[in-house]
Structure 1
Amino acid sequence: MPNITDLIEHYLKQILQSSSEGSVEIQRSDLADKFSCVPSQINYVISTRFTLEKGYYVESKRGGGGYIRIQRVDLPSLATIQQYIQQTVGYEIDQTTAEGIIYQLEEARFITKREAHLLRTAISRESLTLPLPLRDQIRAKLLKATLIALLVK
């Protein structure tokens, strides 16, 4: 059975998908009431599952009448994505940033779930048991070469 964090994430993604503007504005307290949790749980979900690396822009206003606005940031054309990968990955990349890029490409359906899983496994610190900064340099080369090859399909 999914945990509360997964349920909240799934609910917000469903609302985003059905939104004609590609964004949703929610009240933190209303969402906390809906899921019978504390507002900090909502903050946790949004700060970890709806990041810019994962393709979301989040705007928050606190206080009375405060809200959270989540907007999906769509990826552009394939050529632009390949250029983006070349520039973003660069000479070295940490695991969190690399996983964010993979997640965004998977969400936009440029790569399959299986391809994303294989990439995450290949670039993980458990697979690349090398000292830093060598590990981040190898991860960058591996990620860049693999993504470019996958996106040429």
Structure 2
Amino acid sequence: MIKLKGIGEYTAAAISSFSNNEAKAVLDGNVFRVLARYFGVEEPINSTGGKKIFTTLAQSLIENQQPSLYNQAIMEFGALQCKPKSPACQVCPVQLGCYALKHSKVDVLPVKLKKVKVKERWFNYFIGIKDGYILTKQRNPGDIWQQLFDFPLIETAEKPNADDPIL
């Protein structure tokens, strides 16, 4: 099923467990949250290592269960009980075994890496040659390619137009 266009791991696991009762663990935000809090997994859920840890953990928990019922239950538990904000820990049926509650980490688990915002930059280079010498300059510290040599440039906020007089 995963080979079908538009079907990812989550959708394939959900369909196979709900329709065929296959032991495929579904991992969505609710499940990540429940597992991270209950087991104290501090590896970021969106890191390569974190995905492996959560996949292995979730898959081990679904063994010997009714997969369709288990997946729906843990997803629903995360949505209604172990909510992202203001979870109902005081009335939680599994609070005695919850790592996050015991260690006051309910508000910090699960851990998620922040996405790096990519800044587009346009470097417009000039090549100067005179008497066999090529004009270069050393890049400043604290910037991209620091301390490396390159050609003089003008940085613009947008892609330059070929008719721009600075070119």
Q: Name the TM-score, length of structure 1 as normaliser.
A: 0.25
Q: Considering fraction of residues, name the structure with more helix.
A: 1
Higher alpha-carbon Rg: 2
Q: Name the TM-score, length of structure 2 as normaliser.
A: 0.23
